[in-house]
Chains A and B, each alone.
Chain A
Amino acid sequence: MYETNYTRAKDAADAAKKSKAADDAAYLSGGMTLLPTMKQRLAAPSDLIDLTHIKGMNAITVSRKQVTIGATATHAEVATNAKLMKVCPSLSSLAAHIGDPHVRNRGTIGGSIANNDPAADYPSAMIALDATIVTNKRKLKAEKFFVGLFETALKEDEFVKEISFTAPKSGAYAKFPNPASRYAMAGVFVAHHGGTKAKPEIRVGITGASQDGVYRAKDMEKALAANFAPEALDGCTVDEGNMLSDIHGSAAYRANLVKVMAKRAVAAAG
C-alpha cells in the first residue's frame, strides 16, 4: 500500500470539506473493497476520509413501510435489524448472504453501492426497490445512480448519506454465488409493489451477470405483471451478447443463470 493520510470526518460538512482540501481523497467506510484495492496498488488515494464516525449515519429507521438506511450501516446491522426484517425480509436476507461474517461486520451499504461492483448484491435491490439514493448534495433514483461497471453518478467530493425506499408488498433475492468469492454470478431481486389489479407494479433488478453492471429487466417485469409466477418468465430471453464471460462462467451460462435465478426469486416472493 502506498502512503496515505487517514482522518475521521466529524459530520457530513466536515467530510466534504476534508475531501475538497485533499489532493486525491477517497472516502473510507468498511474498507472491505478499498483497502484490498490499495494493497494491490490499484488505488492510491492521498487521503482517506473515514465516514464511519459520523454520528447517526448508520441509523436504520422504519416507519410503517417507509425505510431509511444510513450509508454506514454495516451488512450485519442491516441483516439483523428487527424492524427491517418485518417490513422487508428480502433485503435482510440479501445482507445476511454478502461475503462472510467478518466482511459483514465491516462492509457498509453506502460503500457497496458507491463501489457498484458488477457482482455486488445491493445494487440489484436498490433498482428493484426503486430506492432513492441521498447524497450530501442531492437525491437521485437508483436507476440514475448506477451508471456502469464500477461507475456511479457520484461527483467529486460527493458521498452517499443514506438510501430510502417504500417496502414492497413482497419480494425476494435469489443469488447464485461464486463458490470461491461468494460474489454473485447472477443475482436477481424481484419486488412486487402492489399497484392495481389491472396494472400490478413489479420491478426486477439484476446483478452479477451483465457487462454493463446492474440493470433493470423491463421485459421480465412486464411478463410478471401479466402473471406473477415463475413460468411467466419462460417467454423472456436474456441476451447473451450483454453477459459477462470469464473463467467462472460463459456468457451463455450466465444468461441461463439469470433466468433460473429470476424464477427462483419469483417463487420465493410468492
Chain B
Amino acid sequence: MAKVEMTVNGRSVAADVEDRTLLVEFLREGRNLTGTHVGCDTSQCGACVVHVDGKAVKSCTMLAAQASGSEVTTIEGLAGNGALHPMQEAFRDNHGLQCGFCTPGMIMSAVDMVNRLGPKLDEATIRSELEGNICRCTGYHNIVKSIAAGAKTMGKGMKKAAE
C-alpha cells in the first residue's frame, strides 16, 4: 500500500491506496470527482486530462502514488464562487459539446494551452494542440471556436489582474 498525500482542487487529501491505483481511479473512486472521465484507458483520448503541478497530464497514465506531493486540479476545481470558468462559459456559448464526454478533458487541455501559449491562439495552433484529445461527436469545429473564445476572455482576465 502507498500513502498518498496531495492537494486536490485546493484541499489537502491523504489516503492509503494500492500502489497500482491510477490517478484517475483515485480521483473518481476515492474522491468522488467523477468529472474526470475515462474514455479509452489506453492514453489516447484525453478525456482524463487533469493538471498536476500546473501541467496537463493524462490521469489514466499516471499512478496516484506518482502524484503524491503534487497539486492536482480537476474540472471540478475550475469554477469559482458559483461562476463558470471563462473556458467553460465559452464551451457553453459556442456549442462546444454534444454528449459532453470529452468536454472535461478538452477544457482542461484548453486552459493548459492558454497557460503555456498565451491567450492569442490561432486555429492551426488550437487544432495541433488538440492532438491528444478525441471527440466522437462534434467534428471539432465548435471546440476550436470555443477554445479561441475562451482564450480571449481568459486574456482579458489576465490583463485585468495585471492592472
Contacts and interface: CB of A to CB of B under 8 A. Distances in A.
Pair from one complex: yes
Interface of A: 1-6, 28, 31-32, 35-36, 38-39, 48, 50, 52, 76, 99-103, 105-106, 182
Contact residue range for chain B? 20 to 34
A3 B19 contact: yes
Given A39-B41, A101-B113, A102-B46, A3 B131 contact: no
Contacts of B109: 101-102
A31 B132 contact: no
Nearest to B2: A6
The list of the 3 closest CB pairs from A to B, nearest first, reads A100-B132, A100-B131, A6-B19
Main secondary structure of the interface of A (DSSP, over half): mixed
Main secondary structure of the interface of B (DSSP, over half): mixed
B58 A102 contact: yes
B7 interface: no
Given A39-B42, A50-B66, A102-B49, 4 more contacts: A2-B20, A32-B43, A99-B131, A100-B133
Given A102-B57, A102-B58, A6 B66 contact: yes
Given A35-B63, A101-B129, A5 B19 contact: yes
A102 B19 contact: no
Contacts of B66: 6, 28, 31, 50, 52
Contacts of A39: 41-42
Nearest to B58: A102
Contact of A103 (B41, B63, B132): B132
A36 B62 CA distance: 10
A31 B64 CA distance: 12
A48 B57 CA distance: 20
A35 B19 contact: no
A52 B55 CA distance: 15
A101 B63 contact: no
Contacts of A3: 18-20
Interface string B12-49: 00000011101000000000000000000111001001
Nearest to B63: A6
B5 interface: no
B111 to A, nearest CB: 12
A106 B19 contact: no
Contacts of B20: 1-4, 6, 38
A32 B61 contact: yes
A182 B131 contact: yes
B131 A6 contact: no
B56 interface: yes
B131 A101 contact: yes
A80 to B, nearest CB: 9
A249 B76 CA distance: 43
Nearest to B132: A100
Nearest to A35: B61
28 contacts: A1-B20, A3-B19, A3-B20, A4-B19, A4-B20, A28-B66, A31-B63, A32-B43, A35-B22, A35-B43, A36-B43, A36-B61, A38-B20, A39-B41, A48-B19, A76-B55, A100-B46, A101-B109, A101-B116, A101-B131, A101-B132, A102-B46, A102-B49, A102-B58, A105-B55, A105-B57, A106-B61, A106-B62
